[in-house]
Amino acid sequence: MSRICEICGRGTQSGHSRSHSNIATKRKFKVNIQNKKINGKKTKVCVRCIRTMNKVTA
């Protein structure tokens, strides 16, 4: 299952975890993907897009 938002196209980004001693280890920043029905069709959408849609329609 790919972690890519079908609306905005956001996906997993890579970066570093920083420990207290400032040592960098690679890690992934994953997008919070939720399955949501939009106009009767199931889509994989990030929570940022869901919040934006709620704001626009409210």
For the chain, the domain total comes to: 1
Is position 44 within any domain? yes
In a domain, 36, yes or no: yes
Beta bridge partners of 33: 46
pLDDT in tens, 30-50: 999 999 999 999 999 999 999
Q: What is the mean pLDDT of residues 13-22?
A: 98
Binned at pLDDT 50, 70 and 90, residue 18 comes out as: very high
Q: Which of 29, 33, 28, 30 is nearest to 48 (CA)?
A: 33
| CB hemisphere CA count around 46 (13 angstroms) | 17
Q: What domain range includes position 48?
A: 13-57
Please check whether residue 3 lies inside any domain of the structure.
Answer: no
20 SS3 class: coil
8-27 average pLDDT score: 97
Is position 4 within any domain?
no
- To the nearest whole number, what is the mean pLDDT of the chain? 94
